[in-house]
Amino acid sequence: MYEQQTYETILNRMLDRVPEGIDKREGSIIYDALAPAAVEMAQMYIELDVNANLKFADTATGEYLDRAVAWSGISRKRATPARWVASFKNSQNQPVDVELESRFSMGTRVYVAVERLTAGQVVLECETAGAMGNEYKGTLLPIDYIPDLAAAEMVLLLVPGEDEETDQSLYDRYQDKVSRPVTSANRYQYELWAREIAGVGKARAFPLWDGPGTVKVALLGNDMRRPAESVIEEVQTYIDPTQDGMGEGAAPIGPVVMVVGAEEIPIDVEVKVTLAAGSTLEGIKTLIQEGVTAYLKGLAFDDPLVRWTRIANVIMDIPPVIDYSDLLINGGTSNVDIAQDAVAVLGTVKVS
């Protein structure tokens, strides 16, 4: 909006207003007096441009995006902590009781005991919210003294931690609500309800999937794969916890809703390649895995067809690949159809 208001433009405009006969050359008194003011004004115009963009949802970021979409009832999903099942044993390999609120460390993360499951098994919650709490599995170190404890180990990720929702994800949900007819518990309403839960990246509703009065909602996680069971259960509880049509959740009286995770369909890739000097098959395999994974993520719940030619393009776009032959996708050379409640994910990759 203010791109033309540069330092030079502002300074020249100010100098033009100085009466003729006064020395306006660079280094003169009047020039040196006006130049700092021109710098400040140019900076002011830059900030005006930035502030103008922060008022609109399509250009706002961070807290300004939160405020821009708040009128619609959409709010950013906050980070959630990871929860693990941990096992505790003594030197005789017998279970050891651990008091709730006992703290343990693993790497740079700290976990606290929040729920007792069985003898020697406790649910630990990461004190730092976010996906970082999902990274470690193995031996724990006690921060608090626990009598007779000889071994402490993470054994199962119970509830994956989720990072705070990104600006793009928040804006996409906002766009869904304001651009689609989300009302009266139509299919878009179910999808929007599902996406309100942390850990849900996309959702697709299927009306009448099992006859009148039934709705199925399929979910994808933020990584465009089947979400954790705990996330699926949370969405089910939020939308229709009793599944009897009594309207105990967000869904109205009448419909019976079943929430499921999208079925993962593996896409296996096999190809022969001609490589440039200095390249290795292992390095090319890694690049193919990254490229195909990115391509499949872009298809999730948007395009039901995995195209042979697109995967061929991924391979040919890798600089060290001079040529390829015998490309097989799931053992064939044709496109792969993906059901509407499923998602294509990378399977095995064989490069020779």
b/e sequence 221-242, b meaning 16+ C-beta within 10 Å? bbebbbbbeebbebbbebbbee
Whether residue 220 contacts residue 200, with contact meaning beta carbons closer than 8 Å, is answered with yes
Asked whether residue 167 is domain-assigned, the answer is no
State whether 194 and 220 are in the same domain.
yes
pLDDT computed for residue 5 by the predictor:
87
pLDDT tens by residue, 208-248: 999 999 999 999 999 999 999 999 999 999 999 999 999 99
State whether 58 and 94 are in the same domain.
no
pLDDT computed for residue 183 by the predictor:
81
Torsion of CA 143, 149, 152, 155, to 10 degrees: -130
Total count of domains within the chain: 4
Asked whether residue 154 is domain-assigned, the answer is yes
The parts of the chain modelled with pLDDT lower than 70 are: none
Question: Pick from 241, 261, 281: which residue ends a domain?
Answer: 261
DSSP-assigned letter for residue 59? T
> What residue type is 73 in one-letter code?
G
State whether 316 and 336 are in the same domain.
yes
pLDDT computed for residue 260 by the predictor:
95
pLDDT computed for residue 166 by the predictor:
93
Q: How far apart are CA 23 and CA 222, in angstroms?
A: 64
Asked whether residue 254 is domain-assigned, the answer is yes
State whether 94 and 66 are in the same domain.
no
State whether 111 and 91 are in the same domain.
yes
Q: How far apart are CA 233 and CA 218, in angstroms?
A: 12
Q: How far apart are CA 161 and CA 68, in angstroms?
A: 27
Helix (H), strand (E) at residue 216: strand 214-220
Long-range contacts from 91-94, C-beta under 8 angstroms, 24+ separation = 91/148, 91/150, 93/151, 94/120
User: Is the sign of the CA dihedral 280, 286, 292, 295 positive or negative?
Assistant: negative
| Alpha-helical regions (H) of 157-225 | 167-179, 187-195
Phi, psi of 112 (to 5 degrees): -125, 140
State whether 238 and 279 are in the same domain.
no
Asked whether residue 1 is domain-assigned, the answer is no
State whether 273 and 299 are in the same domain.
yes
- List the beta bridge partners of residue 329: 269, 332
Asked whether residue 169 is domain-assigned, the answer is no
State whether 243 and 292 are in the same domain.
no
pLDDT computed for residue 219 by the predictor:
96
State whether 65 and 143 are in the same domain.
no
In terms of residue numbers, what domain contains 297?
Answer: 265-351
Asked whether residue 249 is domain-assigned, the answer is yes
pLDDT computed for residue 258 by the predictor:
95
pLDDT computed for residue 87 by the predictor:
93
Question: Pick from 128, 159, 190: which residue ends a domain?
Answer: 159
State whether 192 and 247 are in the same domain.
yes
Asked whether residue 168 is domain-assigned, the answer is no
Question: Pick from 125, 159, 193: which residue ends a domain?
Answer: 159
State whether 240 and 272 are in the same domain.
no
State whether 256 and 288 are in the same domain.
no
Q: How far apart are CA 62 and CA 50, in angstroms?
A: 13
Asked whether residue 175 is domain-assigned, the answer is no
